[in-house]
A and B are shown apart, each in its own frame.
Chain A
Amino acid sequence: MSQTIKLKKGFDINLAGKAENKTIEITQPDTFALKPTDFSGLSRPKLVVKEGDNVKAGSPIFFERNVEDILYTSPVSGEIVEIKRGEKRKVLEVKILADKQVEFEKFKSFSASDISGISKEEALDQLKKSGGWVNIIQRPYGCVANPEDTPKAIFISAFDSSPLAPDYAYVLQGQEQYFQAGIDILKKFTSGTIHLNVDGKAEVSQLFSNAKNVQLNKVSGPHPAGNVGVQIHHIDPISKGDIVWTVNPANVAMIGKLFIEGIHDTSRLVALTGSQMKERGYVKMYSGACLNKLDVEGSDNRFISGNVLTGEGVGSEGYLGHYHNQITVIPEGKYEEFLGWILPSTKKLSFHKAFGMLTFLNGKDKEFEVDTNAHGEERNFVVSGAFEEVMPMDILPTYLFKAILAEDYDDMEALGIYEVIEEDVALCEFIDISKNPIQEILREGIELIKEG
C-alpha cells in the first residue's frame, strides 16, 4: 500500500547558488582520499595498504578492526602517496595519486535478467569485498549496516529537501538499469518492503515511478521532508529492537552497477552549488575527489562537502565525502557587525521574526546569500517550542537533547533517540537562538546508547 504523507512542520532554506540542470566538464583532480571519518561507526580502521602501494578502484584500503570482511575500498586506481594520521596515530586520510585512466578491480558481472538469480550469500560476498556494502546505512545509529541483521524494511528517499540539494532524477538519468538492479540486490536482504519515497510536490520522474519491487510513497512538505529519517517515522517507525536500512539513491545505482558491470564505480553526478561557485551545475566525480580544481569567486570561502546544514567544511584542498552528492561553496563570515544583533534587516536569513528580523517580508522566492557567521554566541537553552516547529516527528527535541547532556540512557531511549540521526536535527541547530552544537550533542548521545 503506497502511502501519501503531508508534512507541515519544517523550514525551507532558499539559498542563492542552485545547480543548473547541466553537466559541466572539469579537470579531474590528481589526488583522491578515502577518509575513515566519512563513515560513522568506523572507529578503529586497520590499514591493508602502505605508502607506495598501487591500488585499483575497488582494492581494499582498510577495514574496521574485528570486522575484517567489510572492506573500505579505493575509489580510483593509483598510488598511495600519503597516510595522514591525527592524534593517537588515528588514520584521517589515505591519499591516492590517481592514474590518468582509472582501472577497476574486476568483480563478477551479471546481466540484468540474472540479478534475480543471485543468492543472498553471493550478493553479500560481492558487496563486502568490493566496498559496495558501506553504501548501506542502518537505523538506529546511522552507521554502516551489519550484514548479520535482517532489516524490517529498507528506505530510499528519492529526493533531497536540504538547501541547494541535487535533483536525483537528474543525477540518475540514464542509470535506470543500475538503479533497478540495486533495488533487486537490496531486496534479497529483507523480507519486508523497500520504500521508495518521492517528493509529493513535484512531478515524479519515470525513473522512480517505473521502479519495480518497491513501494512508492509520496512525501510532501518543507525540509526535512526529504530526510529518510522523517519518512521512516511516518511510514514505518523504528521502535526499540527494530532495524531498518537506508540507502541514498545514487548509492543504490552504485550497488546496481557493481553487479551489472562488475566494478566498484563511485563516480556520479555531483551538484556544484553555493553563491561562490563560478559555474553551477553537475559534474562527474569519484568519491574522495580533491576540491582544488573547482572555480570559485573570492578567496575566503568555506568549501563544504555536502549541504550547508549537515555537510563538512573540508577546505579548498579537501575531499568529497563518500556519501555526499553535493559541494557547496559559500563565503566565510569572520567579521564583526556594528549593532548586528539589533539592526533591522530584510537580507538576513532567519526562521524567527524577533524585532527587526524582517526575513518574512521577502516572500517565498527570495534567494538568500549566506556566510558562515554564527550570528551570536553560545547560550543555555532559553526558548521553548521553536525546535518543535522544524521537527515533523512526534519527538520532543529539547527533552531529548537534555537527556543526552545528562547522559540519561533510559530517557534517551524513551524520547526516541533510535529514530533520529544528525541530519534530522540539523534544522534545530540552524534555528537555535542559543547556538548550541546540536548535531554534535546528538551524535554523542547515539554513541553513548550504541555502546550502551
Chain B
Amino acid sequence: MKFLQNKFDQIKPLFEKGGKFEKFHTIYEGHRTIFFAPDIITDKKGAQIKDATDLKRLMFTVIIAMIPCLIFGMWNVGHQHFIATGVEASILDKFWIGILKVVPIIAVSYGVGLLTEFTFCVIYNRPIEEGFLVTGMLIPLIMPATIPLWQVALATVFAVVIGKEVFGGTGMNILNVALTARVFLYFAYPSQISGDVWTYFGDKTPVDGFSGATILAYGAEAAANGTDMMQLASSHWYSGMFDFWNMFVGIIPGSIGETSALMCLIGAFILIATGVGSWKIMLSVVLGTLAMGGLFNLTGGNSFMEMPAHYHLVIGGLAFGAVFMATDPVSASHTELGKWIYGFLIGVITVLIRVVNPAYPEGIMLAILFMNVFAPLIDFYVVEANKKRRLKRATV
C-alpha cells in the first residue's frame, strides 16, 4: 500500500496551506482517511491511549446491518414487478429488475448527498464526517422503487441542508436526516410517494384485477368507510399476499428496504450484538405498538382497530423504522430512561396515526419525527431528575 500512500503524499502539497487547492484540504483528508486510518497520536496530557473504534467503524456497522434489507428489497422489487405483470421469472431476473431500479437511486442519494456534504465542509472548513454514510443508504431503502430520480436528489439535498447542516453537521441535528428526506417528498410530491406507487411496471401493463393497495390502504379504507379490512386483505387479487407470515417475510409491495420484518430482525440482531443500536429503543417501540394495538383490540370500533396488534409489527415500515430510524443516536433520546419512553411513544403514536388518522396511512415516519422533536424534552426531565437527586442529598 506504499504506492497509494506515495500517491497521496505526492498531491498533498496542493492541499496544504498556500497550495493551489488549499480550500479543499478537508476533501483530501476525507479521502485519505478512507484508505488509511490517520496517523494521529494522542496528546501529551490526558488519555495516552485511545480505543480502537472510531465513528467510521460504527457507521459502517449500521450499513452492514442494512445489507439484508437491501438485498431482499432488490429481489422484492423484481418479484412484485413480475407477479403484477403476470410473468413467470427466475430469481436472477427478479434481481436484475431490482438492481436496475435500486442502484440508480442509491447512486443518486450518495452522489448528491456527498456533494452537498463536501460543499458545506469546504465552506465551513470542517472535516468530512461519517454521518452521511448511513443516511445515504437509508434514503433509498425508504423510497418506492418507482420514485423519480430527480425527486431523490432534491429530497437528499433538502435533508442534508435543512435537516443537518444548518444545525452544524453530524451530531447536531434534531431530526433524523433520512426521514427528513422522506417527509419532504411526502408533503411536496405526495403523488409519487403515496397511493399506488409501490409496484414497478416499466413498460408492461398489470394483469387483470391487479390492485396496488397495501394492507395499510385497506386499513385506511376500513377506518373511513367501515369496510372489513381483513376480508378485503384476504380477497386481495394475489391470494395469500397479506397473510401474516407472508408480510413478516416481506413479500409485499412497499418501500424498497422496509417490507421485510424478517430482514429487519437480522439487522436488529447485528446492531444489538455489536452494541451499535439501542435494544432499549427497539424493544420499547415494539412494546408501545403492542400496547396501543392491544388497546384498540379491546375497544374495537372498526375492523382496523380490531386487527390483531401484532400485525402492526409486520406491516408498513414499522420494523424498519424501529430498527434503523428510531435508534439513530443523534436524534433519539440520549438518556437511558429517556430511550424507553421515547421508543414506547413511537410505537403508540405510530398505531394512533395509522388507525385514527387514515389520511396518513404510514404512521411510523411521522411518529419518529414527532418523537425526535420531543426527545430533548424527555431528556430534559430525566436530567432534571438527576439534578434533583443531587440537590436532595445536599440538604440531608
Chain B residue with Cβ nearest A360: B275
Whether A373 and B274, one on each chain, are in contact in the complex, defined by CB atoms closer than 8 angstroms, is no
Known: A312-B44, A338-B37, A375-B37; 12 extra A-B contacts, CB below 8 A, are: A311-B48, A314-B44, A336-B36, A345-B52, A354-B58, A354-B60, A373-B39, A379-B127, A380-B129, A384-B333, A384-B334, A438-B46
Q: Which residue of A lies closest to B29 (CB)?
A: A377
B38, B46, B170: the one within 8 Å of A379 (CB): B170
A373-B41 contact, Cβ under 8 Å, with A337-B36, A414-B390: yes
Count class of interface residues, chain A: 35 or more
Residues in A whose Cβ lies below 8 Å from that of B172: 380
**B43: nearest residue on chain A (CB-CB)?**
A437
Residues 100-144 of A contacting B (Cβ, < 8 Å): none
Q: Does B123 reach chain A (CB closer than 8 Å)?
A: no
A-to-B contact residues, CB < 8 Å: 13, 237, 239-242, 302, 304, 308-314, 328, 330, 332-342, 345, 348-357, 359, 370-385, 388, 394-396, 398-399, 414-416, 422, 426, 429-435, 437-440
Taking CB atoms, residues of chain A closer than 8 Å to B130 are 379
Q: In the bound complex, do residue A377 and residue B127 qualify as a contact, i.e. CB atoms below 8 Å apart?
A: yes
Q: How far is the CA of A437 from the CA of B40 in the complex (A)?
A: 13
Residues of B within 8 A of A (CB): 1, 4-5, 33, 35-58, 60-61, 64, 127, 129-131, 168-172, 273-276, 278, 329-330, 332-336, 339, 383, 386-387, 389-391, 393-394
Q: Which residue of B4, B55, B60, B391 is within 8 Å of A382 (Cβ)?
A: B55
Task: Decide: B387 and A372 in contact? CB cutoff 8 A.
Answer: no
Output the nearest chain B residue to A383 by Cβ-Cβ distance: B329
* A330 engages B36 (CB within 8 Å): no
Does the CB pair B49–A330 fall under 8 Å?
A: yes
The residue in chain A whose Cβ has the minimal distance to the Cβ of B38 is: A377
Pairs A–B under 8 Å by Cβ, sample size 29: A241-B394, A312-B45, A313-B43, A328-B48, A332-B41, A333-B39, A336-B5, A338-B37, A341-B37, A348-B52, A350-B52, A352-B53, A354-B275, A374-B40, A375-B53, A377-B38, A379-B130, A380-B129, A380-B170, A385-B336, A394-B386, A415-B390, A429-B46, A430-B49, A431-B51, A433-B51, A433-B55, A434-B55, A440-B43
Q: How far is the CA of A359 from the CA of B53 in the complex (A)?
A: 10
Contact A426 B329 (CB under 8 A): no
Contacts of B51 in A (CB 8 A): 349-352, 375, 430-433
Q: Give every chain B residue within 8 A of A415 (Cβ-Cβ).
A: 383, 386-387, 390
With the chains together, A338 CA to B33 CA distance in Å?
9
- Most chain A Cβ neighbours within 10 Å, of B33, B49, B60: B49
The CA of A394 and the CA of B54, in the complex, are separated in Å by 26
B33 with A341: CB separation less than 8 A: yes
Question: Given the complex of chains A and B, what is the CA–CA distance between A398 and B379 in angstroms?
Answer: 12
Distance to closest chain B CB from A138 (angstroms): 18
Within the complex, the shortest CB–CB distance from B348 to chain A, in Å, comes to 22
Instruction: Give the complex CA separation of A314 and B44 in angstroms.
Output: 7
- Tell me the minimal C-beta distance from A84 to chain B in angstroms: 16
A359 to B170, CA, bound (A): 27
Do B56 and A376 touch across chains, with their CB atoms under 8 A apart?
yes
Chain B residue, CB-CB nearest to A13: B49
Known interface pairs A374-B41, A384-B332. Does A433 touch B5 (Cβ–Cβ under 8 Å)? no
**Closest beta carbon of chain A to B277's beta carbon, Å:** 11
Q: Which residue of A lies closest to B171 (CB)?
A: A380
Distance between Cα atoms of A416 and B394 in the complex (Å)? 12
Nearest CB in chain A to that of B64: its residue: A355
Q: Is the CB of A239 within 8 A of B390?
A: yes
A381-B275 in contact given A374-B42, A439-B47 (Cβ < 8 Å): no
Closest Cβ of chain B to A302, distance in Å, is 6
